[in-house]
Structure formats: structure tokens, C-alpha cells
């Protein structure tokens, strides 16, 4: 196979770094590049070994910096772009919606404009896979699942920003004929997820014998999708998805948050050799957050027709995830304290500086 260039925006983050690692194994003949600003949720250490080995090329830039993004795209001229750079934490969006508008809406439009310009001036044909979320559909009533034709009813500023980004992507396909497909995964979990999200936070706190805070009753239902299954789904959509179409990615099984936390607590106790129930006793119900959706549920028939379905059960995925976090306490300490940032920026100082501002170098 001839070498293709694959760009992953947000490739040092949770799903992005897992996708990069998956892609190097699944498609070893491809050239892979990462564009990431390395904010609180993007960790150079997630892919440092791949950069050292030469398997991945790294560009540090803000997805909303039009000049930098255009320059990087012109250098790479990618065949395929996975756009995963985004702010994703609902609680943070409630505190500061403007940041989500900048990263998720402006960042997406900057990328689209840069790709359109690349096609018009350099005649480069690029497929863009936009990462959306199931949250754009809003809460699902009992016994109902949303398919790709369901209307958007976002509840949080985060979901609203992703919905807006989706509309810009869909409009770019219709207006300019750009090759764009949209992916709507359910709640992801797995290794390298920043520990402000539910599952890694519960693992970290349970291991440290700290409170396990749960919003409200904890009966909010989510479809938990293991990140490796997501990567395989994105691969399938990228290669077989129809341009301009939306594809839901999920397991088809919803589980209340409380049940997930209890399972994590028991697994942590077992692996640390503690009496069963030690961690469960730390579960603390706190005031629910504003606009908290009670249930998300997706119909994934459309992507199944492309040959994809989730392979990892929640039990299997949690076992792998709990074990990974317990095996990597240094990673947890680094990302929560910020020491990783100083370490990697000193270690890779010249490389980061070149990537941070490449279009202004002499």
C-alpha cells in the first residue's frame, strides 16, 4: 500500500492518543501526525514513545489558530483527518461556556476553512472525520433510542458547542461538497482518560480511599463504550462511511452510573486485597448538576451495516481500565500535578518550540 498521511487533532488527549496507538498497529504503512495544544487534557507523555520511535510526527498548535492550522495542513497535505481536538467536560462548560465555543465551534470552522483552502489551492483531497457525541441528541426517553435522523436537543453548553460544530461540518459538505463524515460515540472510557471524568476519577479515589462523589441518585443511564472499540469504529467510518452522513457508535446497553461506580469500587478492593465493601462505603451522593440528562441511548444499526459493532463488554472494559490505572500511578500523579508538562517541555524543548510556532520560523 502507498503511504497515506493521517492527521489526528487532539492526538495527545484520551481518545486521540488511543486512536494514534491503534492506527500505528492497524495501518503501519501510514504516516501519522498529531496536532495538539497540550492543554490540561492533552499529555505529551501519552504518545512520547511513538514520537521518539519516529512513528508519529508532532505539531503543537491551537486548533483555533487559523494561520498555524493552515500552515501545518499545507506541510502535511493529509489524506485523512480525524478531528478530536475539543473541550469535552460538561462541568467545565457550565462554568465557562465561552472556552467551549472557541475550541469546539471556532476550532472546527478553522479546520474546515483550512481544508477547503488546501483543496482549492493545492488540489489536495482530504476526508474529514468529525468527532461528535451522543449528547447532541439530548436525553432519551425510556424505551427510545436516537438514530442519526433524530433532532438535536443539546442540554449542556458542551453539547450545544458540539452540535454547532456538527452543523458547520454538515453545511460544509452541502455547500462545498467537502468529504466529511460525522461520528457520534457514546460515553468513552479506558486508559489515559483525564481523571476528572467519572470512571478514572472513581478508580483514583477508590484506590486512595477518598470519597466517591456521585451526582444526585446516580441513576443516570449511560452507554459505556470502551475506547479501543471507538477507535475501530472510527477506522470503519473513515474507510466505509458515506460522505455527508452521521454514524452513531455505541454498545446498545445502558448502565446507571451508580452501578458502574459500585463495580469499580469492588474491583479496586479485590485488586488491592482489601475487604470487599471498603470502597463502596466511600460512595457519596452530592447535589446534581444543572440540566443533567437522565439517559442517553443510541440506535447503531447504521454503523452495523458497515461491519462494526462494539466487542468489549462493560465488565471486560472495566477490568482492563481499572488494572491500567492501578498499574500507572505515576501517570496519574503527573497529569494531576502538572509535573509531566514541565518534564516533557524541558525534555523536548527544541521540538516543541519548532512545532508551537512553525509558520513564524525563519
Domains of the chain (ranges; CATH) run 5-190+224-252+296-312+340-360 (3.40.50.720)
Confidence at residue 352, expressed as pLDDT on a 0 to 100 scale: 53
Confidence at residue 361, expressed as pLDDT on a 0 to 100 scale: 46
Using the CB atoms, write b or e for 249-260: b if 16+ within 10 Å: bbbbebbbbbeb
**Starting from the edge strand earliest in sequence, which strands make up the sheet with 127-131, in order?**
56-60, 31-36, 5-9, 80-83, 127-131, 180-185, 246-249
Confidence at residue 362, expressed as pLDDT on a 0 to 100 scale: 35
Of the listed 36, 62, 137, 158, which one is catalytic? 158
**Structural contact between residues 22 and 235, judged by C-beta atoms closer than 8 angstroms:** yes
What distances in angstroms separate CA 105 from CA 64, 68, 70, 169, one per listed residue? Answer: 9, 17, 17, 10
What length does the chain have? 362
Of the listed 87, 135, 229, 235, which one is catalytic? 135
134 is catalytic: yes
Which runs of consecutive H residues, i.e. helices, occur in 151-296? 157-176, 198-207, 227-240, 257-272
Confidence at residue 179, expressed as pLDDT on a 0 to 100 scale: 98
CB atoms within 10 A of CB 4: 13
Instruction: Give the side-chain half-sphere CA count within 13 A for 19.
Output: 29
Quote the pTM value. Answer: 0.94
Instruction: Return per-residue pLDDT of the chain as tens, 362 residues.
Output: 468 999 999 999 999 999 999 999 999 999 999 999 998 889 999 999 999 999 999 999 999 999 999 999 999 999 999 999 999 999 999 999 999 999 999 999 999 999 999 999 999 999 999 999 999 999 999 999 999 999 999 999 999 999 999 999 999 999 999 999 999 999 999 999 999 999 999 999 999 999 999 999 999 999 999 999 999 999 999 999 999 999 999 999 999 999 999 999 999 999 999 999 999 999 999 999 898 999 999 999 999 999 999 999 999 999 999 999 999 999 998 888 766 566 556 655 655 555 555 544 43
Phi, psi of 239 (to 5 degrees): -95, -25
Confidence at residue 3, expressed as pLDDT on a 0 to 100 scale: 87
Confidence at residue 356, expressed as pLDDT on a 0 to 100 scale: 52
148 is catalytic: no
Of the listed 30, 36, 62, 134, which one is catalytic? 134
Using the CB atoms, write b or e for 92-121: b if 16+ within 10 Å: bbeeebeebbebbbbbbbbbbebbbebbee
Name the packing angle between helices 66-76 and 107-122 (round to 10°): 40
Between vectors from CA 37 to CA 32 and to CA 42, what angle results, nearest 5°? Answer: 80
Amino acid at each position: 500500500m502507498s503511504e497515506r498521511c493521517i492527521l489526528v487533532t487532539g492526538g495527545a488527549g484520551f481518545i486521540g492518543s488511543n486512536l494514534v496507538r491503534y492506527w500505528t498497529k492497524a495501518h503501519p504503512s501510514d504516516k501519522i501526525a498529531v496536532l495538539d495544544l497540550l492543554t490540561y487534557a492533552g499529555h505529551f507523555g501519552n504518545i512520547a514513545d511513538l514520537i521518539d520511535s519516529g512513528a508519529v510526527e508532532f505539531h503543537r498548535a491551537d486548533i483555533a489558530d487559523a494561520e498555524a492550522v493552515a500552515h501545518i495542513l499545507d506541510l502535511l497535505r493529509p489524506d485523512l483527518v480525524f478531528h478530536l481536538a475539543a473541550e469535552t467536560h460538561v462541568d467545565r462548560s457550565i462554568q465557562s461556556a465561552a472556552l467551549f465555543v472557541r475550541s469546539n465551534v471556532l476550532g472546527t470552522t478553522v479546520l474546515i476553512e483550512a481544508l477547503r483552502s488546501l483543496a482549492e489551492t493545492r488540489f489536495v483531497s482530504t476526508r474529514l472525520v468529525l468527532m461528535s457525541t451522543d449528547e447532541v441528541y439530548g436525553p432519551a426517553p425510556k424505551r427510545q433510542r436516537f438514530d442519526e435522523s433524530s433532532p438535536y436537543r443539546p442540554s449542556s453548553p458542551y453539547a450545544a458547542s458540539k452540535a454547532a460544530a456538527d452543523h458547520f461540518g454538515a453545511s460544509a459538505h452541502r455547500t462545498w461538497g467537502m468529504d466529511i463524515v460525522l461520528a457520534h460515540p457514546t460515553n468513552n472510557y479506558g486508559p489515559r482518560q483525564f481523571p476528572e471524568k467519572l470512571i478514572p476519577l472513581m478508580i483514583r479515589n477508590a484506590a486512595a480511599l477518598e470519597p466517591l462523589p456521585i451526582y444526585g441518585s446516580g441513576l443516570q443511564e449511560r452507554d459505556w463504550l470502551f475506547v479501543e472499540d471507538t477507535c475501530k469504529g472510527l477506522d470503519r467510518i473513515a474507510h466505509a462511511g458515506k460522505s455527508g452522513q452521521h454514524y452513531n457508535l455505541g454498545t446498545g446497553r445502558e448502565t446507571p452510573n451508580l452501578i458502574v461506580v459500585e463495580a469499580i469500587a469492588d474491583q479496586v478492593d479485590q485488586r488491592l486485597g482489601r475487604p470487599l465493601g471498603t470502597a463502596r462505603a466511600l460512595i457519596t451522593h452530592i447535589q446534581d448538576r444543572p440540566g443533567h440528562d437522565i439517559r442517553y441511548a443510541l440506535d447503531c444499526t447504521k454503523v452495523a451495516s458497515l461491519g462494526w459493532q462494539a466487542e468489549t463488554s462493560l465488565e471486560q472494559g472495566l477490568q482492563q481500565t481499572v488494572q491500567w490505572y492501578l498499574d500507572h500511578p505515576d501517570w496519574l500523579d503527573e497529569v494531576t500535578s502538572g509535573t509531566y508538562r514541565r518534564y516533557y517541555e524541558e525534555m523536548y524543548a527544541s521540538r516543541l518550540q519548532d512545532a508551537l510556532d512553525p509558520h513564524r520560523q525563519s
